């Protein structure tokens, strides 16, 4: 197999969306918890997780209504605090109290 073909196959097999996200935002109650580089992972279709140094959030667009959750405490290991029902605005899912964004 040619080296160029191997590289092409490796790129084609990379997890969808993971390498495309370069910046995330998580705001809750007017406080910004993530604004910059982040880890992003998609699962079960359109659902996704963003995570920064101490905080992370999940958004479930494959459900109706679309709901979001976050860890709320940097020591928490589960996204147990609800963000509420979210609606999409470009790269963000938001409501009056929360904003979760994943930018390319």
Indicate whether 49 belongs to any domain: yes
Indicate whether 6 belongs to any domain: no
Phi, psi (deg, nearest 5) at residue 94? -155, 170
Indicate whether 2 belongs to any domain: no
Indicate whether 5 belongs to any domain: no
Count of domains forming the chain: 1
Domain region containing 44: 16-103
Residues in a beta bridge with 93: 88, 100
Indicate whether 58 belongs to any domain: yes
Work out whether the CA dihedral 23, 28, 33, 39 comes out positive or negative.
Answer: negative
Indicate whether 1 belongs to any domain: no
pTM: 0.81
Indicate whether 56 belongs to any domain: yes
Q: Give residue-wise pLDDT tens across range 56-97.
A: 999 999 999 999 999 999 999 999 999 999 999 999 999 999
Indicate whether 89 belongs to any domain: yes
Confidence tier at 6 by pLDDT (50, 70, 90): very low
What are the structure tokens assigned to 64, written together?
A: 């109706």
């Amino acid at each position: 197999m040619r080296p160029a073909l191997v590289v092409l196959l490796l790129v084609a097999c990379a997890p969808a969306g993971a390498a495309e996200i370069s910046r995330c935002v998580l705001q809750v109650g007017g406080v910004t918890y993530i604004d910059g580089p982040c880890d992003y992972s998609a699962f079960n279709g359109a659902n996704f997780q963003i995570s920064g140094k101490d905080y992370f959030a999940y958004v479930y667009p494959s459900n109706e209504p679309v709901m979001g959750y976050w860890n709320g405490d940097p020591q928490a290991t589960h996204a147990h605090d609800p963000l509420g029902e979210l609606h999409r605005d470009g790269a963000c899912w938001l409501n009056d109290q929360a904003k979760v964004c994943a930018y390319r």
